Structure 1
Amino acid sequence: MNNSIYENNLSYYKNIRSYDLMTPKERAHALSIGAPVDRMPVYMMADLVIPQLIGTTLRESELSAKRKAEVQIAGYRMFGFDSVGMMHGLYSLPIAIGGAYSDPENLTRTLIEYPVKDISDLSVLDLDCVGLCKDEAASKAFDAIRYVQEAIGDEVECTMNFTSPFTVASGIVGIEKFLTALAKNTERAEQVLQFVLEAQFKLAKEFLKEGITVGTSDPVASCTIINPKLYRKFAQPYEIEFAKRCMEYMGKPLSIHICGNTTKILNDVADCGFSTFSLDNMVDLAVAKREIGNRMHLAGNVDPVAVMLQGTPRDVEKSVHSCYFKAWDSPKGFSIHTGCDMPYGTPLENMEVYLREAKKCAKEHAEALLKEKDYYIWDDAAEVENEKI
């Protein structure tokens, strides 16, 4: 980490922290007992951009547990968002059992060779080869959470994300081969899914036993890639089982993020029993509120590319207001979030505007839940929405 670069950016975002009169843990506790809060929670997926703000690269930040922790600690101290966390990674399990990968400087690792070459030969799928000591990504994340807890754990929770079986299974075999196998070699495909379920939970259990909150994601399960019928038959059952097992340890439901368009499966995801659905920007929050707002807490969903990376500060402001306009009064609650990870190179000013407007709206959101007003700061988004009609 380059301390000079970090200190400059810490100073740049200093005013953003003035909106925070409570720590995330204080805020969460107050909300849990119905007490007043300074503002509602604010989230942002920034793992790909924080490294550049502390003078390093994503690849360098993944070299050790301490470096991974530095990213989360610095991000929290700069931005003051309401949760920090580690990710096992979409394809860390396939890599751990023999998959080859490319390691770009500022992008997540990409599989270039899958551990299962032929669906008829699943000999590499050995649960005895799965464990913290044999999975570099999980081991580093486990240790990194400890470093984060020591540094800022009294203020903010550090969570862990494990990808759901359907997406990981696609990395064991390859997406095209896996989707083909679902239709033509269903028994083998389900053997892969069952192995992934057992393997991911075996790893997750090590975190759960330490009292670490676990969440999940399932990007390949979206309707951008598969149809609702495939989701219901092959993705949903494994999401449910993974969540059920984790919940037995945590005593509370998991949250889930699914990239892409999930409009056609909103109710199916709600049926899984998750507490929160982090929605990609491809989903209209107004539709999500109407369909499942009475069943799940909604989070989302400012476009990380068209708005955060490529848009103007005014675009960012309008998008944040639009999210609140559509979903602030969702029955089970709403939290502002980006629709997915913001790409490397996202402008500092756009992130500053996002955080400023999000925290302003989050303050008004907290006040609005106590007393209705005739006009809210996000009501200017009504004009934008009317223009779309």
Structure 2
Amino acid sequence: MCVDQMTPRERMYAFKHQQAIDRIPCGLCPGDYIYKLVGDSVSDLYLSSKQIVKSQIQARQVYEIQSAGTGPVVNGIAEAVGCKVIYPKHDTPYISEHIINDYGDYKRLEIPEPRKSGRLNIILEALEELLECLGNELPIVSEIPGPLTTASNLRGIENLMIDLYENPEFAKEIIEFSLRCTVEYMNEASKLGVEFSISDPVASLIGDSFFQEFEFPFLKELVQNVVNLTKETPLLHICGNTTKLLGQIADTGAGIISLDEKVDMEAAKNEIGTKIALYGNISPTKVMLSGSPLEICIEAKKCIQKAYDNPKGFVLGLGCGMPIDTPEENIYALLESARKFGRYPLKGELNINENICY
């Protein structure tokens, strides 16, 4: 087994500042998967700051996660505004009731106070303790929703898509309101000293011209707020095939773009690699969930070969969130693949007859 020469915090700091690193970083962020370490319900990771912290500490010890944190993504801001959220035992929370049915509903809304609304205070308490417990070793990151995703949670995605066509000014008001709500949370969280990442899965559902009008200016402003508060550029993830949107995404000012498996990593490198670092993009379901450790090693090496020389850098990771039922041996295989095939100078050949790669 290869041994790291840097802590994840040291590595990511050097990575972001274009300094020498020991190996390619691995974005091992198991998300809801780690609920098994602290309880028998995914909701344990959302409704108790103590359980959030405990799960992250356990995940660092058991799975060697490369960053820790929690945040209001994807529906936490909308819940704080007033939407109702369901917390299943074995699945990701989801919104059951949207709060904006008409313009009158929208006009009655107020920007939520982070310490008094929804789960935001639980999140802030957990981040504060994570900084104390793990902050010297790991980046502590609060993942925040993009403005279009929050707007779709407030209005309902079908209604918002109709608004884009039939009532664009109303849609922009909701998106702008969503942005301001998120920034209010960020202002409070930044006082703790956390970093931020952005996830805006709904953004890939609209065409490139709509992206330019209804997503780009708001997303760029959100990124700029992150930079103003933390002096660092955030990671940005947008689900789906964003190939036609790569140029616009790079122009948001984000520092790292997390690419879905549907995007060719080498093509992304060639188009935007001088502007932004790349992250990804092993298939979460076909490979991480359903594949073997050997298959993960093979796919990880392919990703590294395509993007290790990206001018702004490359982080090995999944194309989206890790499925809850991922075999734990596959998690170990992903991290060890980064250690084995991502060392500088890059070297190492995979023996296809191996059953495992660690």
Normalization by structure 2: what TM-score?
A: 0.92
Matches of 2:296 and 2:227, distance apart in 1: 36
The 1:322/1:209 distance shift into structure 2, 3 A limit, reads: same
Question: 1 CA distance for matches of 2:350 and 2:146?
Answer: 35
Q: Aligned pair 1:298/2:278, yes or no? A: yes
The answer on 1:74 being equivalent to 2:54 is no
Taking only aligned residues, the RMSD between alpha carbons, in angstroms, comes to: 2.1
Shift of 1:80: 2.5
Cα offset for 1:154? 1.4
**SS at 1:66's partner residue?**
helix
Gaps of 5+ in 1: 1-14, 369-374, 381-389
In 2 relative to 1, CA 119–108 (structure 1 residues): closer, same or farther, beyond 3 Å? Answer: farther
Which of the two has higher C-alpha Rg? 1
Q: Please tell me whether the aligned partners of residues 27 and 318 of structure 2 are also in contact (alpha carbons under 8 angstroms).
A: yes
Q: State which of 32, 37, 57 in structure 2 corresponds to 1:48.
A: 32
Q: Distance in 1 between matches of 2:120 and 2:105?
A: 26
- Which segments of 5 or more consecutive residues in structure 2 lack a partner in the other structure? 353-358
Q: Show the counterpart of 1:212.
A: 194
What letter corresponds to residue 177 of structure 1 in structure 2?
A: N
2:304 counterpart (320, 324, 348):
324
Q: How does 1:233-244 map to 2 (within 5 A)?
A: 233-244=213-224
Offset of residue 59 of structure 1: 1.0
Q: Deviations over 1:32-87 (max 9, x none)?
A: 67765432321123012111244532112322111111122221222334322212
* CA distance in structure 1 between the aligned counterparts of 2:38 and 2:98, rounded to whole angstroms: 33
Query: Structure 1 CA distance, aligned partners of 2:209 and 2:189?
Result: 33
Give the secondary-structure state (helix, strand or coil) at the position aligned to 2:281.
Answer: strand
For 1:162, which of 121, 144, 150 is the aligned residue? 144
Would you say 1:98 and 2:82 are equivalent positions?
Answer: yes
CA drift at 1:251: 1.8
Looking at structure 1, the residues matched to 14 and 152 of structure 2 have their Cα atoms a distance apart, in angstroms, of 41
* Count, aligned residues: 352
Amino acid at match of 1:377: E
Secondary structure of the corresponding residue to residue 339 of structure 2: helix
| Residue of structure 2 aligned with 1:153, choices 116, 135, 159 | 135
Q: Partners of 1:181 and 1:45 in 2: how far apart?
A: 35
Judge conservation of contact 1:116–1:124 (CA < 8 Å) in 2. no
Preserved CA contact (<8 Å) 1:266 1:292: yes
Q: Which residue of 1 aligns with 2:330?
A: 350
TM-score of the superposition, structure 1-length normalised? 0.85
Match of 2:7 among 11, 23, 30: 23
Distance 1:47 1:105, change over 3 A: same
- Rounded to whole Å, the distance in 2 between the matches of 1:26 and 1:167 is 32
* Cross-structure match for 2:315: 335
Identity %, equivalent residues? 31
Q: CA deviation at 1:29?
A: 4.7
2:115 aligned with 1:136, yes or no?
A: no
**Contact preservation (8 Å) 1:115, 1:172:** yes
Q: 1:346 to 1:33 in 2, by over 3 A?
A: closer
Equivalent residue letter for 2:235: S
- Residue 119 of structure 1 deviates from its aligned partner by 4.3
Q: Contact between 2:199 and 2:237, CA under 8 Å: does it hold in 1?
A: yes
- 1:175 equivalent to 2:157? Answer yes
**1:277 matched to 2:257:** yes
> CA, structure 1 residues 55+20, in 2 after alignment: closer, same or farther (shift >3 Å)?
farther
- Aligned-partner SS, 2:136: coil
Structure 1 residue aligned with 2:185, among 203, 209, 222? 203
The structure-2 alpha-carbon separation of the partners of 1:344 and 1:31, relative to structure 1 and needing over 3 Å to count, comes to closer
The equivalent position to 2:288 in structure 1, one of 305, 308, 313, is: 308
Q: Deviations over 1:10-43 (max 9, x none)?
A: xxxxx6xx62332122334555677654323211
Once the two structures are TM-superposed, the CA of residue 240 in structure 1 deviates from its matched residue by: 0.6
Quote the Cα distance in structure 2 between the aligned partners of 1:121 and 1:99: 12
Cα displacement string for residues 106-127 of structure 1 (whole angstroms, at most 9, x for unaligned residues) = 2221112101122454134212
Distance across 2 between alignment mates of 1:296 and 1:255:
10
3-state secondary structure, aligned to 1:160: strand
* Cα distance between partner residues in 1 of 2:44 and 2:230: 32
Q: 1:90 to 1:140 in 2, by over 3 A?
A: same
Cα distance in structure 2, aligned partners of 1:34 and 1:220: 31
Secondary structure, counterpart of 2:115 in structure 1: helix
Deviation at 1:150, TM superposition (A): 1.8
Partner of 1:184: 166
Q: Provide the rounded CA distance (Å) in 1 between the counterparts of 2:282 and 2:337.
A: 12
> CA–CA distance in 1 between the matches of 2:17 and 2:145?
31
Q: What residue number does 2:356 align with?
A: none
CA 335–200 in structure 1, closer or farther in 2 if over 3 Å, else same? same
Name the aligned partner's letter for residue 345 of structure 2.
E
Work out the CA distance in 1 between the residues paired with 2:21 and 2:74. 35
Question: CA-to-partner distance for each residue in 1:262-295, whole Å, 9 max, x for gaps?
Answer: 1110011011111110111111101111111111
| Equivalent residue, structure 1, for 2:345 | 367
1:228 is matched with: 208
1:184 offset after TM fit, Å? 0.7
Matched residue type, 2:158: E
Q: 2:349 aligns with which of 377, 383, 388?
A: 377
